[in-house]
Chains A and B, each alone.
Chain A
Amino acid sequence: MTEITKEIVAEHGLSESEYERVLEILGREPNLTELGIFSVMWSEHCSYKSSKKWLKTLPTEAPWVICGPGENAGVVDIGDGQAAIFKMESHNHPSYIEPYQGAATGVGGILRDVFTMGARPVANMNALRFGRPDHPKTRHLVSGVVSGIGGYGNCMGIPTVGGETNFHASYDGNILVNAMTVGIADTDKIFYSAAAGIGNPVVYVGSKTGRDGIHGATMASAEFDDDSEEKRPTVQVGDPFTEKLLLEACLELMATDAIVAIQDMGAAGLTSSSFEMADKGGVGIQIDLDNVPMREEGMTPYEIMLSESQERMLMILKPGREDEARAIFEKWELDFAVIGKVTDTGKMVLTMHGDIVADLPVAPLADSAPEYDRPWVKTEAPAPLKADTLPVPADLGKTLLNLMGSSEIASRKWIWEQYDHMVMGDTIQRPGGDAAVVRVHGTDKALAITTDCTPRYCYADPETGGAQAVAETWRNLTATGADPLAITDCMNFGNPERPEIMGQFVGCIAGMKAACNALDYPVVSGNVSLYNETNGTGIHPTPAIGGIGLLKQSSHMSTIAFKADGETILLVGETTDNMGQTIYLREIEGREEGAPPAINLEQERRNGDFVRASIQAGLVTASHDISDGGLAVALSEMALAGDRGATITLEDSLPAHAALFAEDQARYVITATAENAQTLLENAKKADVPLQILGTTGHNELKVTGMLAISVSDIRQVHSQWLPDLMTVPGH
Chain B
Amino acid sequence: MKAAVIVFPGSNCDRDMKVAIEQSLGTPAHMVWHGDSDLPDVDLIAIPGGFSYGDYLRCGAIAGNSPIMREVVKRAASGTPVLAVCNGFQIATETGMLPGALLRNANQKFICKDVDLKVVGENKRFSGAFASGQVVRFPVAHHDGNYFADDETLARLEGEGLVAFKYADANGEVSDATNINGSRNNIAGIYNEAGNILGLMPHPERLISEQLGGTDGKLFFDNLVNSLN
Residues of B contacting A427 in the complex (Cβ-Cβ under 8 angstroms): 212
Residues of B contacting A157 in the complex (Cβ-Cβ under 8 angstroms): 11-13, 50-51
Q: Is the CB of B51 within 8 A of A420?
A: no
Q: Is the CB of A417 within 8 A of B111?
A: yes
- Asked whether B155 is an interface residue with its Cβ less than 8 Å from the other chain, the reply is no
| A332 to B15 CA separation, bound complex (whole angstroms) | 18
Q: Is the CB of A147 within 8 A of B110?
A: yes
- Asked whether A423 is an interface residue with its Cβ less than 8 Å from the other chain, the reply is yes
Selected contact of B16 from candidates A242, A333, A417, A423, CB within 8 Å = A423
Known A-B contacts A147-B110, A150-B110, A157-B50; the reply to A425 vs B206 at CB < 8 A is yes
- Asked whether B112 is an interface residue with its Cβ less than 8 Å from the other chain, the reply is yes
- Asked whether A244 is an interface residue with its Cβ less than 8 Å from the other chain, the reply is yes
A411-433, CB < 8 A from B: 416-425, 427-428, 430
- In angstroms, how far is the closest chain B Cβ from the Cβ of A417? 5
Q: Is the CB of A155 within 8 A of B15?
A: no
| A421 to B139 CA separation, bound complex (whole angstroms) | 10
| A416 to B114 CA separation, bound complex (whole angstroms) | 13
| A157 to B16 CA separation, bound complex (whole angstroms) | 11
- Asked whether B9 is an interface residue with its Cβ less than 8 Å from the other chain, the reply is yes
User: Quick one: closest B residue to A242, CB to CB?
Assistant: B54
| A155 to B52 CA separation, bound complex (whole angstroms) | 10
* CB 8 Å contact bits of B109-141 with A (1 = contact, 0 = none): 111110000000000000000000000000101
Residues of B contacting A333 in the complex (Cβ-Cβ under 8 angstroms): 9
Q: Is the CB of A420 within 8 A of B141?
A: yes
Residues of A contacting B111 in the complex (Cβ-Cβ under 8 angstroms): 417-418
- Asked whether A245 is an interface residue with its Cβ less than 8 Å from the other chain, the reply is yes
- In angstroms, how far is the closest chain B Cβ from the Cβ of A119? 16
- In angstroms, how far is the closest chain A Cβ from the Cβ of B5? 13
User: Quick one: closest B residue to A413, CB to CB?
Assistant: B113
- Asked whether B211 is an interface residue with its Cβ less than 8 Å from the other chain, the reply is yes
User: Quick one: closest B residue to A248, CB to CB?
Assistant: B9
Selected contact of A417 from candidates B9, B13, B50, B113, CB within 8 Å = B113
Q: Is the CB of A423 within 8 A of B9?
A: no
| A335 to B124 CA separation, bound complex (whole angstroms) | 48
Q: Is the CB of B212 within 8 A of A425?
A: yes
User: Quick one: closest A residue to B141, CB to CB?
Assistant: A420
- In angstroms, how far is the closest chain A Cβ from the Cβ of B32? 15
Selected contact of B51 from candidates A241, A248, A419, A421, CB within 8 Å = A241
Selected contact of B13 from candidates A156, A240, A245, A423, CB within 8 Å = A423
Given contacts A241-B51, A420-B112, A423-B141, 9 further A-B contacts (CB under 8 A): A155-B12, A155-B54, A240-B51, A240-B54, A418-B111, A421-B112, A423-B12, A425-B205, A555-B211
- Asked whether A554 is an interface residue with its Cβ less than 8 Å from the other chain, the reply is yes
- Asked whether B53 is an interface residue with its Cβ less than 8 Å from the other chain, the reply is yes
- In angstroms, how far is the closest chain B Cβ from the Cβ of A572? 26
| A502 to B128 CA separation, bound complex (whole angstroms) | 66
Q: Is the CB of A156 within 8 A of B12?
A: yes
- A selection of 7 A-B contacts at a CB cut-off of 8 Å is A147-B109, A147-B110, A241-B9, A241-B10, A241-B51, A244-B51, A421-B112
| A419 to B111 CA separation, bound complex (whole angstroms) | 7
Q: Is the CB of B19 within 8 A of A425?
A: yes
- Enumerate chain A interface residues (CB-CB to B < 8 A): 147, 150-151, 154-157, 239-242, 244-245, 248, 331-333, 416-425, 427-428, 430, 439, 554-555
Q: Is the CB of B9 within 8 A of A244?
A: yes
- Asked whether B143 is an interface residue with its Cβ less than 8 Å from the other chain, the reply is yes
- Asked whether B213 is an interface residue with its Cβ less than 8 Å from the other chain, the reply is yes
User: Quick one: closest B residue to A555, CB to CB?
Assistant: B211
Q: Is the CB of A422 within 8 A of B112?
A: yes
User: Quick one: closest B residue to A428, CB to CB?
Assistant: B211
Residues of A contacting B143 in the complex (Cβ-Cβ under 8 angstroms): 154
Residues of A contacting B20 in the complex (Cβ-Cβ under 8 angstroms): 425
Residues of A contacting B203 in the complex (Cβ-Cβ under 8 angstroms): 422
Residues of B contacting A241 in the complex (Cβ-Cβ under 8 angstroms): 9-10, 51, 53-56
- In angstroms, how far is the closest chain B Cβ from the Cβ of A150? 5
Known A-B contacts A417-B112, A418-B111; the reply to A155 vs B141 at CB < 8 A is no
- In angstroms, how far is the closest chain B Cβ from the Cβ of A286? 33
Q: Is the CB of B15 within 8 A of A424?
A: yes
- In angstroms, how far is the closest chain B Cβ from the Cβ of A431? 10
* CB 8 Å contact bits of B195-216 with A (1 = contact, 0 = none): 0000000010110100111000
Residues of A contacting B49 in the complex (Cβ-Cβ under 8 angstroms): 423
Q: Is the CB of B112 within 8 A of A155?
A: no
| A683 to B15 CA separation, bound complex (whole angstroms) | 44
| A333 to B208 CA separation, bound complex (whole angstroms) | 34
User: Quick one: closest B residue to A151, CB to CB?
Assistant: B110
Selected contact of B9 from candidates A245, A425, A428, A439, CB within 8 Å = A245
| A395 to B113 CA separation, bound complex (whole angstroms) | 36
| A417 to B139 CA separation, bound complex (whole angstroms) | 11
Q: Is the CB of B213 within 8 A of A430?
A: yes
User: Quick one: closest B residue to A249, CB to CB?
Assistant: B9
| A423 to B50 CA separation, bound complex (whole angstroms) | 9
| A427 to B141 CA separation, bound complex (whole angstroms) | 14
Give the interface centre of A151, A241, A332, A439 by most chain B CB atoms within 10 Å: A241
- In angstroms, how far is the closest chain A Cβ from the Cβ of B163? 25
Q: Is the CB of B212 within 8 A of A420?
A: no
| A423 to B53 CA separation, bound complex (whole angstroms) | 18
Residues of A contacting B212 in the complex (Cβ-Cβ under 8 angstroms): 422, 425, 427-428
Q: Is the CB of A332 within 8 A of B9?
A: yes
Residues of A contacting B110 in the complex (Cβ-Cβ under 8 angstroms): 147, 150-151, 154, 418-420
Q: Is the CB of A422 within 8 A of B206?
A: yes
- In angstroms, how far is the closest chain A Cβ from the Cβ of B22? 12
Q: Is the CB of A418 within 8 A of B206?
A: no
Q: Is the CB of B141 within 8 A of A554?
A: no
Known A-B contacts A241-B56, A430-B213; the reply to A422 vs B9 at CB < 8 A is no
Residues of A contacting B205 in the complex (Cβ-Cβ under 8 angstroms): 425
Q: Is the CB of A419 within 8 A of B112?
A: yes
- In angstroms, how far is the closest chain A Cβ from the Cβ of B136? 16
Residues of A contacting B53 in the complex (Cβ-Cβ under 8 angstroms): 241
| A332 to B35 CA separation, bound complex (whole angstroms) | 10
* CB 8 Å contact bits of B13-44 with A (1 = contact, 0 = none): 10110011000000000000001000000000
- In angstroms, how far is the closest chain B Cβ from the Cβ of A421? 6
Residues of A contacting B213 in the complex (Cβ-Cβ under 8 angstroms): 428, 430
Q: Is the CB of B141 within 8 A of A425?
A: no
| A248 to B9 CA separation, bound complex (whole angstroms) | 9
Q: Is the CB of A155 within 8 A of B9?
A: no
Q: Is the CB of B141 within 8 A of A422?
A: yes
| A381 to B212 CA separation, bound complex (whole angstroms) | 46
Residues of A contacting B19 in the complex (Cβ-Cβ under 8 angstroms): 425
Residues of A contacting B35 in the complex (Cβ-Cβ under 8 angstroms): 331
* CB 8 Å contact bits of B51-77 with A (1 = contact, 0 = none): 101111000000000000000000000
Residues of B contacting A555 in the complex (Cβ-Cβ under 8 angstroms): 211
Known A-B contacts A241-B51, A333-B9; the reply to A154 vs B16 at CB < 8 A is no
Residues of A contacting B54 in the complex (Cβ-Cβ under 8 angstroms): 155, 239-242
Residues of B contacting A420 in the complex (Cβ-Cβ under 8 angstroms): 110, 112, 141
| A420 to B19 CA separation, bound complex (whole angstroms) | 18
Residues of B contacting A150 in the complex (Cβ-Cβ under 8 angstroms): 110
Residues of B contacting A422 in the complex (Cβ-Cβ under 8 angstroms): 112, 139, 141, 203, 206, 212
- In angstroms, how far is the closest chain B Cβ from the Cβ of A614? 21
Residues of A contacting B211 in the complex (Cβ-Cβ under 8 angstroms): 428, 439, 554-555
- In angstroms, how far is the closest chain B Cβ from the Cβ of A139? 14
Q: Is the CB of A424 within 8 A of B16?
A: yes
| A244 to B212 CA separation, bound complex (whole angstroms) | 25
| A419 to B110 CA separation, bound complex (whole angstroms) | 7
| A423 to B49 CA separation, bound complex (whole angstroms) | 9
- In angstroms, how far is the closest chain B Cβ from the Cβ of A64? 25
Residues of B contacting A421 in the complex (Cβ-Cβ under 8 angstroms): 112
- In angstroms, how far is the closest chain A Cβ from the Cβ of B205? 7
Q: Is the CB of A244 within 8 A of B12?
A: yes
- In angstroms, how far is the closest chain B Cβ from the Cβ of A335? 15
Residues of B contacting A154 in the complex (Cβ-Cβ under 8 angstroms): 110, 112, 141, 143
Known A-B contacts A150-B110, A241-B10; the reply to A425 vs B16 at CB < 8 A is yes
Residues of A contacting B141 in the complex (Cβ-Cβ under 8 angstroms): 154, 420, 422-423
Residues of B contacting A240 in the complex (Cβ-Cβ under 8 angstroms): 51, 54
